Structure 1
Amino acid sequence: MIYIFDKTQAIIKVLTNDDFTAAHLNFKINTATTFEFSLPASKALPSDSKYVATPHPLDDSKFIMLRLTERVDNTETIDYSAYELAYQELATDGYIEDKRPQNQSALNLMKIALDGTNWELNNVNVSGTATTNFYYVDHLSAISNVVDLLGGEIVFYIEIQGNAISGRYMDYLARQGSDTSKVFASGSNLLTVERQSDTSGIYTAILPRGKGEEIDNGDADTPDGYGRRINISDVEWKKSSGKPLDKPKGSIVLSDPDATAEWGQINGNARLLLQTYDDIDDVNVLIQSAYKTLQSVNHPQIQYSATVADVGGLSLGDTVLIMHGDRDLSYKTRVFEVKYDLLAPDQTELSLGDDLSSNSITSQINNLNAVADTTSSQTQWTINQIGRPSTTFGNTEPANPKVGDVFFKELPDGGTEIYRWNGDIWELLASPTTADDIAAAVDDAVTQAKAHTDEVKQSLSGDIETAKSQAASQASTAEANAKSTATSQFNQAQSALSAAKSDLTNSIASEASARNAAVSAANSQAQTYANQAKADALNAVNKEVSDRQSAVSALDTKATNAVNQAKSDINDTINALSVGGRNYILDTANPKTQTSNGTDNQNLYDKAKFYSPI
């Protein structure tokens, strides 16, 4: 469904594809989406219509919000044009006065760029950090500045729940789309050459210069300024260390020898581009940006078009391989624009190759001086040397590799990983973290060795303690037996006393306060005897260990006497509770004995439980 909104962005009408006579939705990387559609004259939009939201072709839970910009009345139809709202709002709604983030992540930079707007940052997977400043710029220019520095692609969308907009979001992605296995030959009848630049725009080397170095003359009353621009003289690149090109220290030029051999001067010299990057003050960022620029201008620029009916399903950002038959050179390129035909999907048009239209977000706001990682012009070059493995530079894996082929993968943060095809997978040979990984592995090995040593020491210590424990155990076996026997006798007394306590407490609980006092006294007396029994038993064990059998006999006698005394005292206490010839516990007024479990004619004392020793 397609929603129509009024000026307050309240939904006032809902359309379906059946309502249209034509509907074309144009998506392009880092460019505002446009929507052109026609309705029968009898189904004209309400006069207060201001905005339109259409589902994203690849995710119908997300909607593209556009502002209606034009209406053309024909005899039988009415044509409408709409332009993506986010680009208009962010370019005109407020500004950033002065923000100077230092070494901030993509997430933090975009948060600053969007602060104070109606749009919320959602998904971010762009890596790297950058230093920049936003000084009296609109929010769209700030976003463009971040894209220039770190690369990546922005996507705006809204979500609708019920009949209202529930959220306005921006995603900042390293790239859209996916790598495909589709291969097209240059000149194939499946592809139409839309535009092609001549070779005059090719450069095979670049001399980059960054921001001028700040000068402080030491006088607070005079303004400071900027002197010489930074260059890449102090940076050294080696392909053997994982860099995509060799650049010796001391040189201020980054050259591509393979492109020079193909497209250089007649005398063998490189075709040099002098490039200035006003916002870059880090030499490592400068050389990375220069390399990206060089990769976009070191080959002829060709823009192709095709339809889904001819080339099959391809989406925005998908990667395909273009083969050139006139030389051993091929490159990967991406679908940078898709014109969806909502009424006839097989007639959806694709644009791929090099974007020569110059209307992306970066080219709308900046010129060639931008450090743009404008993905619509990103290509991947493969140098095929006869009889030797191929070497590929880019950010996507080459298709149809051969054993031994080498791939220099450019990472979003400017780093490079080196892979080699072993026949089954791309095997990682080196990365920016290789040295750290080796150091970490060494540290881990040392840690494991120390842990193993500690484990052996602990095991030996445990064995020694075990031997000592066994000796001590054997030495005290007789003592333990004596204690065990005494403890068993004592536990029996304890069990009987605890049972008596439990039954007395449960039975007397409902009696008057006088009876409770009597029970309390009985409990106290019983506890006293129990404690005395325990103390006598333990003293006997400790004192008479040399004569274990005698100690056991003495303890048995004492325990038995204690139990009998406790039993006698309990009976006296129970008899004391008799009122009018009736004992409330034994019910002596009746010819039976009541026990705690309800059975008759049993001895209550045998069921008694004594208190546990303290």
Structure 2
Amino acid sequence: MEGYATMIYLFNNQEQLIKILTDKIVKSAYHTQELTDENYISDKLIVEVKAMDDVELAEVEYIGISSLNKDHAYDLFYVLSHKTVGTITEFIGVQSGIEELRKIPVYDIRPNGSVRQHAERIIQGSNWTVGYTPDIGNAGVNYYYMSAFDALKKMCNSFGVEMQFHVEINGNKIGNRYIEFKKRIGTVTHRRVTYGHNALEIIKEVQKANLVTALIGRGRGEEVSSAGENESGQAGYGRKITFEDIVWEKSQGKPVDKPAGLKYVENKEATAMFGIKTPNGNIPKIGFIEFDTDDRELLLQRTYESLNEQCRPQVLFRTTSAYLTAEIGDTVRVERPDLNIDYAVRVVKIEWNRISNRAISLELGDKLNDSLGSQMKSLSKDIENRLADEIMNQKSDIVDHILSANGFNTNWYSETEPTNPRINDIWYQPDPEFEGHYIMRIWNGEIWEELVRTKNFNRVIEKIKQVEDHLKTTEAEIEKIHARNEEELEKFREELKSLDLSEEKIEAITKKINLELPDFDALKSQIESVRESSRVNAEMIGNDGKTRYSKNILIGEVDRKLLFTDDHITIEANDGGFKKGQTYTISFEALCELLAKAKVSFNFGREAVRGVTMTLTPSSSKLTTVQTGSKTVDVLPGDYTVLMTSGWYKRYSQEVRIEKDTTIDILTEYREIAEGNRTMAYQGEWSENPELILDGGVS
């Protein structure tokens, strides 16, 4: 689609077309696609346009834009926010399908069938339909009290497929909405990138912390009793399934040999390079992984695919389209001369300029920041629960480890380091310095990171108590004010009665006054809310005195972009913002991306021109004026005034916006007196001091 003009469609909440924005109105449009670790394409759109009035803005609910490299398909974004600053209105949109399906509940469905059968049951009753689905067999999965979007993610994880959202736009309305499911979005290309190349930036690298050369996979627990057999009305499940009895043979087309009875699947080449060294040779480094499936063959396949990503050092790269041309999900190969290996990775994130339809940056490699948002939510919830929990005093009554309330992570209680932990597991380690106290740690995938020590809990509790005491005082003051208001209001009512006013008028007057008084119940509700959140906002202090957890975080995207034409970036924080008199430390990393110049060609409408000077004056003070006498020139993107001056032609100027290679038409009209202009009649007379001497001509 590179080179084609991009049109942006604005729809209201009734999905009626309000306006079509062309590239003459759109100042910038950046579309970010990301292949998440939860098997779906996440889309985000940031658009800047010439300022729109408040009436139009109030109507805008959706933004539609043509899908990249997909004919007759569009991406539909739900408008998350909009703001107008000066002459520019900015829209921020997120994938509408995700936003809608997050608000549609799935109560209790248990399909057993194909990907299509599962997906159709999940999105039944929504605006969305199932598009392409691969034929990869049947499976049974339970979806119980969750959103339709979460159910789709669970289905994708169970089947090992990926999903992407598209819509159709027919005339002036939104048409069909559909979700495509594929084994792998993107194509397997023959392109290669080289580790260490100066055009390949390393964003994050994990050399060997999580490296394993063999994996034991476990699936869903086997049903040992039906729902009808149990008083609870729920089925009973036993041990989780494994692929121990499944046989793979390379001679039968399988990727590796896995004999019956072997509990793990191994990459022998990785074991030879990265395995555990013993006198008898290297043995595999073995890890564990779980999938929500009851199909043993599928479990082995999914485990093998995960092993291919975990059996080598993991790296996430960033590059530009000048070094690599690819689309989201595409597979490319990374050459590692330092390790004498090469392997396949995928393009997991692309930022597009939708004005030029060119990729600005691409990220490829391993997804090393898996679901950071969900990890933080889980961590926050777990910390809140632990603050109010007295389980520390009841260790003798519990086993070494139990599942947390959400069932997804484990709480460990032991002196020795737990084996085979999962991310977000909590370990309550006895404090070696203070008997009877504990150190609360969380497994981040690499180490047990310390959160807090119970020796310091008194400091946390004291902070919470101070906040609650303040709230009680405030509540008492509000009670006094409320009582005083009621008393004054009753006196005023008596005075009104003495004026012989009707009861209706008195009621109307006092009702009006009541509306102006603070709503005590609302204030009380706010106080309760603050009291509850105060437990969370209390600092968790470690033994080194550093803050471990705080909900005071930055507002907006962490990954900001400061354009060449911008002066600064504004940083705000929630929870009251940055407090006056306090010192804050803001750490950041900056990546400077060179602006690509655009080639400007001048079309004079003549085969040859004489003595022409072209001057391009930018509107931005940060750009420099460019002057040339040739037919082409390279300039940085921006708004310019183009001026032609010449001794042969009339002065000509125009305002242009330059973002990509472009041709500018220049009007060349001869001056009234110039060589070559033979259509003009001249009349002269003799002078002792001539201003112009004509050489030849017709009398």
State the TM-score bracket (shorter-chain normalisation). Answer: 0.5 to 0.7
The one-letter code sitting in structure 2 at the alignment partner of 1:273 is G
Alpha-carbon displacement from aligned partner over 1:430-471 (angstroms, at most 9, x marks no partner) = xxxxxxxxxxxxxxxxxxxxxxxxxxxxxxxxxxxxxxxxxx
Q: What 5-or-longer segments of structure 2 have no aligned partner?
A: 1-6, 379-407, 410-420, 424-699
Q: CA deviation at 1:24?
A: 0.2
Deviation at 1:131, TM superposition (A): 1.6
More helix by share: 1
Whether contact under 8 Å (1:209, 1:230) holds in the other structure is yes
* Partner-residue secondary structure (3-state), 1:339: strand
Aligned partner of residue 250 in structure 1, secondary structure: coil
Alpha-carbon distance, 1:202 to partner: 0.9
Given the two structures, how large is their TM-score scaled by the length of structure 1?
0.55
Q: Deviations over 1:578-606 (max 9, x none)?
A: xxxxxxxxxxxxxxxxxxxxxxxxxxxxx
Partner of 1:331: 343
Conservation of the 8 A alpha-carbon contact between 1:86 and 1:156: yes
Change (3 A) 1:88 1:189: same
- Per the alignment, do residues 216 and 25 of structure 1 end up closer, same or farther by CA in structure 2, a change over 3 Å counting? closer
The residue aligned with 1:432 is: none
- 1:309–1:346 Cα contact (<8 Å) kept: no
**1:194 aligned to which of 191, 203, 210:** 203
CA-to-aligned-CA distance 1:230-279 (integer Å, 9 cap, x gap): 222222223333322222322212222211122222433322212233x3
Gap runs ≥5 in structure 1: 371-614
> Which of 285, 291, 296 is 2:309 aligned to?
296
Q: Is the 8 A contact 2:318 2:364 kept in 1?
A: yes
Q: Which has the higher contact order (CA 8 A, sep 6+)?
A: 1
Contact 2:9-2:17 within 8 A present in 1 as well: yes
Structure 2 residue aligned with 1:74: 85
CA distance in 2, matches of 1:119, 1:35: 21
**SS of residue matched to 1:234:** coil
SS in structure 1 of the partner of residue 13 of structure 2 = coil
In structure 1, distance between residues paired with 2:62 and 2:212: 45
CA contact (8 A) 1:67 1:85 kept: yes
Identity between Structure 1 and Structure 2 (%):
26
Q: 1:182 to 1:213 in 2, by over 3 A?
A: closer
Write the deviation string for residues 483-503 of structure 1: whole angstroms up to 9, x where unpaired.
Answer: xxxxxxxxxxxxxxxxxxxxx
1:552-609 Cα deviation digits (max 9, x unpaired): xxxxxxxxxxxxxxxxxxxxxxxxxxxxxxxxxxxxxxxxxxxxxxxxxxxxxxxxxx
Matched AA of 1:15: L
Count of residues in Structure 1 that have an aligned counterpart in Structure 2: 366
- Could you give the per-residue CA deviations for residues 186-226 of structure 1, whole angstroms, max 9, x where no partner exists? 11123221221231111111122222222249995656632
Structure 1 position 32 matched with structure 2 position 42: yes
Residue number in structure 2 paired with 1:431: none
Alignment partner, residue 41 of structure 1: 51
How far the C-alpha of 1:150 sits from its partner, in A, is: 1.9
Contact 2:47 2:90 in 1 (8 A): yes
Residues 152-180 of structure 1, C-alpha deviation per residue, up to 9 Å, x if partnerless? 22121111111111211112223333233
Match in the other structure for 1:171: 180
Contact 1:144/1:361 (8 A) holds in 2? no
Could you list the per-position Cα deviations for residues 70-98 of structure 1 after superposition, in whole angstroms to 9, with x for gaps in the alignment? Answer: 224334423221111100111112x2222
Superposed displacement of residue 369, structure 1: 8.5
Q: 1:148, 1:350 → 2: CA distance?
A: 25
Task: Note if 1:259 corresponds to 2:270.
Answer: yes
Counterpart contact for 2:227–2:236, Cα < 8 Å: no
| 1:35 maps to amino acid | L
| Structure label with greater radius of gyration | 1
Residue 126 of structure 1 deviates from its aligned partner by 4.3
User: CA distance change for structure 1 residues 140 and 38 in 2, over 3 Å: closer, same or farther?
Assistant: same
Letter in 2 for 1:162: G
Q: 1:18 aligns with which of 21, 24, 40?
A: 24
Equivalent residue number for residue 334 of structure 2: 322
Q: Give the match for residue 2 of structure 1.
A: 8
Deviates more, 1:167-176 or 1:114-123: 167-176
Amino acid in structure 2 at the alignment position of 1:305 = R
Paired amino acid for 1:270:
P
Partner-residue secondary structure (3-state), 1:9 = coil
Change (3 A) 1:133 1:234: same
- In structure 2, what is the Cα distance between the partners aligned to 1:96 and 1:42? 39
Which residue of structure 2 lines up, in the alignment, with residue 356 of structure 1?
368
Between 1:3-12 and 1:121-130, the stretch displaced more is: 121-130
* Structure 1 letter corresponding to 2:126: T
Q: Matched residues in 2 for 1:361 and 1:317: separation?
A: 22
1:283 Cα shift? 2.1
Partner of 2:107: 97
Deviation at 1:143, TM superposition (A): 1.3
Residue 274 (structure 1) aligned with residue 284 (structure 2) = no
Change (3 A) 1:31 1:197: same
Using the alignment, how far apart are the partners of 2:297 and 2:170 within structure 1? 46
Q: Deviations over 1:291-345 (max 9, x none)?
A: 122122111111112221333x322222222111123311122222221112344
CA 1:28–1:219: 2 relative to 1, 3 Å:
closer
CA RMSD in angstroms, aligned pairs only: 2.9
1:181 paired with 2:216, answer no
Matched with 1:63 is 74
CA offsets 1:28-84 (integer angstroms, 9 cap, x no match): 231321001112336775322121111112135211111111224334423221111
Could you say what secondary structure the match of 1:17 adopts?
coil
Distance 1:23 1:345 in 2: 9
CA distance in 2, matches of 1:89, 1:150: 23
Q: Could you tell me which residue of structure 1 aligns to residue 470 of structure 2?
A: none
Task: Please show how residues 184-223 of structure 1 align to structure 2 within 5 Å.
Answer: 184-216=193-225, 220=229
Partner of 1:199: helix, strand, or coil? coil
For residue 260 of structure 1, give the secondary structure of its aligned residue in structure 2: helix
- Shift in CA distance, 361/61, structure 1 to aligned 2, threshold 3 Å: farther
CA deviation after TM superposition for structure 1 residue 185, in Å: 1.2
Task: Look up the match of 1:597.
Answer: none
1:286 aligns with 2:299: yes
Alignment of 1:305-316 (within 5 A): 305-311=318-324, 313-316=325-328
Q: Retained in 1: the 8 A contact 2:139–2:294?
A: no
Q: TM-score, normalised by structure 2?
A: 0.49
